[in-house]
Amino acid sequence: MEKKRNLKSFGDLMKNRVIKKAPAFEWQDLALRIISELNIPNNKRSSIFLVCKKNAKPIVEKALNDTKELCKSGEKWRYFFKLIEKNK
């Protein structure tokens, strides 16, 4: 009988669920990861999405890894954009 007290109704479970929408494309997921890891400002988010959409994933990931390795302080996103521009 104690187990029944701990059970919730289906309606209660549905109210408390968190809906997390998955990215539609792989490049969107990569862009979100870059935004979080490099602390990209809000006004540059769209540029990150554009970079991830137009460039191959290995190029973008290499620029991300190089940025994290070489730029220890300051605005990492500026360094990331310089690396992307250099790889074009």
How high is the pLDDT of residue 19?
A: 77
- Do residues 63 and 84 make contact, with C-beta atoms less than 8 angstroms apart? yes
Report whether pLDDT(20) > 90: no
pLDDT in tens, 33-88: 999 999 999 999 999 999 999 999 999 999 999 999 998 888 899 999 999 998 87
Buried b / exposed e along 32-70 (16+ C-beta atoms within 10 A): bebbeebebeeebeeebbebbeebeeebbeebbeebeee
**28: helix, strand or coil:** helix
Q: What is the mean pLDDT of residues 13-35?
A: 84
Report whether pLDDT(1) > 50: no
Q: Which residues contact 46 (CB under 8 A, 6 or more apart)?
A: none
